[in-house]
Copies of this chain bind each other. A is one copy, B any other.
Amino acid sequence: MTTTPAMDRLEARFRRLSALSGASGMLGWDQHVLMPPGGAEARAEQMATLSVLRHELLTAPAVAEELASASGEPLDGWRAANLAEMRRAHAHATALSGDLVEALSRAGSRCEALWRDARAKADFGLVRAAMADQIRLIREEAAAKAAALGTTPYEALLDGYEPGGSLARIEDLFAELEAELPPILDAVLERQAREAAPLEPAGPFPVDAQRGLSRRVMATLGFDFDHGRLDETLHPFCGGVPDDVRVTTRYDENGFVSGIMGVIHETGHALYERGLPIDWRNQPVGEARGMVMHESQSLLMEMQACRSPAFLALLSNWAREAFGAEGPAWKPENLRRIYTRVDRSFIRVEADEVTYPLHVILRFRLERAMLAGDLEVAGLPDAWNAGMRELLGVTPPNDALGCLQDIHWYDGAVGYFPTYTLGAMAAAQLFQAALRAEPGIPEAIGRGDFTPLVGWLRENVHGRASSLGTEEILKTATGSELTAAPFLAHLKQRYLES
């Protein structure tokens, strides 16, 4: 006779939920990678059915009873953390009425469709009314979830992406960046103006050669092709499940420079998923901690490890081999100039690591103001452009290059943007700690050996899964909660001192 009957039942239920999520994940991957266009309707029906079944399993009356009973059962650390994660999932799922869920889903689909058109025509007016409806509903959602979770409304939305995320902490961290980044940016641009502009490696770069180079880089980083694949999509992503991780990329025959860094970024995500603890597969506590930690893993690989001189020397050799090319454009020093180019630009997804946080801070400000009712949707384009002038010193010539550029708000995601920059800070902090613990990491990377780095991440990040909160993982791994200092030090070192 078990002494944890309620928890046993919950674990069996969440095991099912996890299998259904995994099935949805694979079907979603197929939808983006392979599905013929005519399959869309049938796929939507499959995905919706899986989603409804998950919701029913999670909100069944028995779950609330079992969660209550399980609190009184003798659970060790990981199981107690598992119960906390179950409680969080249950709170999110039960916080909203069925009517509100349906209204949000409809408003989101409508708003996203209108946004595609509005962005293509650079005409915010086309989506304004739909977005106003959507923001009203998201305010309702935030209020209901805040009551269920005992947080502020903004934090209730943030919690869906970054469990336990704190508004006060973000405000403090972002205030520091807001103060520190502009002078750094000025100094970097001034220094860059004195440097020769980078040469562009001349193509074409055959797709087969890029594919081979991508696989070589992924394998070097530690991606296990027995438990994953690399395929092709318009918008690269990392999907699948921990034992079958699906990375996608896009090949451009005219250039390989940004594509290969995209592959490295997604491989960082993939290594995290793959490194989650095998003993807790299929349970909430065994999942990745949240979007901050996930983005820290992709950016640690992309920005910290693979834009380092040691890796760029390796990449320079491998790229020359792959494309049978030679010349000054392929020198490591030229690659360094390419990969550290900084610009005051309009588009977040194309921004460098120095200006990127300013793009995020703008969005964080504006989404909080909209959620609080301090900014009307009609005023968004002006507020956006004013913010861009203030933070980045440029004014978007139209809304397609301004407030229409990102899908996030238009498909209902408010509270997501901060995770990009929190992830960038966490990446710098973790990489610094890894180098302290394993000083041989840069030299190993130069030999194409990522095992010291990935071994450290496995132990200090991946293997902890959701047994601790983001801040606790960082504190245990680095000795400190999340701070901006390592990120700022990294920028100064790379862009001003090296």
Q: A residues bordering B, Cβ < 8 Å?
A: 15-16, 19-20, 22-23, 26-27, 30, 34-39, 41-43, 45-46, 48-50, 52-53, 224-229, 240-244, 281-282
Contacts and interface: CB of A to CB of B under 8 A. Distances in A.
A241 B42 contact: yes
Contacts of A240: 39
Copies, count: 2
Given A23-B27, A27-B27, A243 B38 contact: yes
25 contacts: A16-B49, A16-B52, A16-B53, A19-B45, A19-B46, A20-B49, A20-B53, A22-B46, A26-B46, A30-B30, A34-B229, A35-B244, A36-B225, A36-B244, A38-B224, A38-B228, A38-B243, A38-B244, A39-B240, A39-B243, A39-B244, A42-B244, A42-B281, A43-B244, A53-B53
Contacts of A242: 42
A39 B282 contact: no
A50 B53 CA distance: 10
B19 A49 contact: yes
A442 to B, nearest CB: 31
Which of A22, A27, A46, A227 has most B Cβ within 10 Å? A46
A23 B48 CA distance: 11
Contacts of A241: 39, 42
Contact of A42 (B16, B22, B37, B226): B22
Nearest to A29: B30
A371 to B, nearest CB: 35
Which of A35, A42, A49, A228 has most B Cβ within 10 Å? A42
Nearest to A243: B42
Given A16-B52, A20-B49, 5 more contacts: A20-B50, A23-B27, A27-B27, A36-B228, A39-B241
A229 B36 contact: yes
B22 A26 contact: no
Contacts of A49: 16, 19-20, 23
Contact of A227 (B30, B36, B50, B244): B36
Contacts of A282: 45
B41 A243 contact: yes
Contacts of A229: 34, 36
A27 B177 CA distance: 46
A226 B27 contact: no
A244 to B, nearest CB: 3
A338 to B, nearest CB: 33
Nearest to A226: B38
A30 B26 contact: yes
A383 to B, nearest CB: 43
Contacts of A45: 15, 19, 22, 282
A37 to B, nearest CB: 6
8 closest Cβ pairs, A-B complex: A39-B244, A38-B227, A19-B49, A38-B226, A42-B243, A23-B46, A19-B46, A19-B45
A396 to B, nearest CB: 38
Contacts of A43: 26, 244
A37 B226 contact: yes
A85 to B, nearest CB: 19
A274 to B, nearest CB: 9
A189 B179 CA distance: 92
Nearest to A41: B243
Nearest to A57: B53
A276 to B, nearest CB: 12
A39 B242 CA distance: 9
A184 to B, nearest CB: 43
A45 B22 CA distance: 9
A48 B45 CA distance: 20
A37 B243 CA distance: 9
A112 B149 CA distance: 51
A27 B22 CA distance: 10
Contacts of A37: 226
A23 B43 CA distance: 8
A346 to B, nearest CB: 36
A120 B35 CA distance: 37
A39 B274 CA distance: 11
Nearest to A281: B42
A90 to B, nearest CB: 19
Nearest to A34: B229
A227 B41 CA distance: 11
Which of A26, A41, A50, A226 has most B Cβ within 10 Å? A26
Contacts of A227: 36, 38-39
